[in-house]
Structure formats: C-alpha cells, structure tokens
Amino acid sequence: MNFLLGIFVDAILPIIIIALAITASIILFKYLRKNFDKPINNVPTASPNAKVKLKSHYCTEEEMRFLDALHKALPRECISFPRVGVSQLIEPKDNMNDYKAIADKFVDIVVFLRKDMKPILVIDLYQSSPVAQQLKKFDENITNVLKSAKIPIIHKQLQEEYKIDELTIEILNNLDSSTLTYLKTISIGAFDKK
C-alpha cells in the first residue's frame, strides 16, 4: 500500500497538478483574449435607415431671447455660439485625466473673438426656480478647467427681458485685460476712421 501511495505522490500527483495548471492557463488565456481583443474605437455603425428625428428646437425660447439680447450687447468684434463642447475650447496639456473629465461636457454659450475665434467668455444660463437650479448645477470640473485655461464664466439667470446696456457692462467687466485692450484698440481705430 505504501508502495502505491509513493508512486501516486511521486508520479501521478505532479501530472494532475500540471494538467490543472495547463487547463487553468488555457481558460485564463481565452478569457483575457475575449476581453482585450476588442478594437479600441469600437463605434457602433448606424443602419442606413436610422431611426432618429430632427429636434424641433435647438434652444429653448428663453435661451433664444437671451441670445438675441447677447448679440445686441456684444461688441462687433465678438460672436457667440450656444451649446459648445468644452473639449472644443481646450486641449490636453500634460494630464489626460483633466481633459477626460470634461471631454463630453457642454457649456450654454461661448463668446469668441471674430478675428481668430479665441474663446473669451463662457455664459452659464439657469432658470429662476430652485428646482431647475438644483437640476442644472454648473459642473465643478468645467469650472476648474476653464479657470485653468483663463476663460471667465458668467452665471446668468434667464429672464423675460434684458437691458442691453447692463448686459454689455456685465460682459466687459468679466473679460480679461488683454481682451479689453484689444476691443478698445479696435473701437478707437474704427472711431478715428469716421
């Protein structure tokens, strides 16, 4: 009996252990291959007859009222666009984590200089009701990234009417000094030509 036990321990047990190790390796290999063999940019393909429909309104009526007032309040050298992706305003520097945190986020309105489309101001619009304000809190990641990129942010409550002069003053008060200097230089140059 001891002889058979000795043969089992010396010959058969190592073979069983090796067979189990090989089986576990094959299973692990197939599992890892299945999970990591996928293409990195696995984008689904839309069917030729995609089931989508056109949105009836890109902006709400309140947002349109504000945009109309904003276009009247902006200096001629500026232009604004609604719902701009934050990733279109900044680019990653050293750390991709900061960029990934805002890659799919949007801001309500961005004001650009017309000459080079440099973003100079972000406007966050919000409703007056407390419930709406809670639902749409400005993302802290966006605030941090825009602050780092030196793009000022105005948080503006939607209203029925806007005073164009007050809106112009608020915009100019929030621009950085180099942008203000540029706008003043352009304005003085246009005035001198008259």
What pLDDT digit, counting tens, does each position of 8-58 carry? 667 777 788 898 999 999 998 888 877 766 655 666 777 788 888 888 888
Q: Which residues, including other chains, have CB under 8 Å from residue 155's CB and lie 6 or more apart?
A: 124, 126, 138
Question: How many angstroms separate the CA atoms of 136 and 123, rounded?
Answer: 14
How far, in whole angstroms, is CA 38 from its chain's centroid? 26
What are the residue ranges of helices labelled H in 37-127?
61-73, 96-102
Please state the φ and ψ torsions of residue 24, each to the nearest 5 degrees.
-65, -40
Please, what sign has the CA dihedral across residues 92, 95, 96, 98?
A: negative
For 143-186, how does the pLDDT look when each residue is reduced to its tens digit (9 = 90+)?
Answer: 989 998 999 999 999 999 999 999 999 999 999 999 999 998 88
Q: What is this structure's pTM?
A: 0.68
In sequence order, what DSSP letters do the residues of 128-152 get, joined into one string? Answer: SSHHHHHHTPPPHHHHHHHHHTT--
Q: pLDDT band for position 141 (50/70/90)?
A: confident
Question: How many angstroms separate the CA atoms of 120 and 80, rounded?
Answer: 10
Question: Which DSSP helix (H) or strand (E) runs through 84?
Answer: strand 78-85
Given this model, what pLDDT does residue 30 score? Answer: 85
Domain range summary for the chain, segments of one domain joined by +: 1-35, 61-193
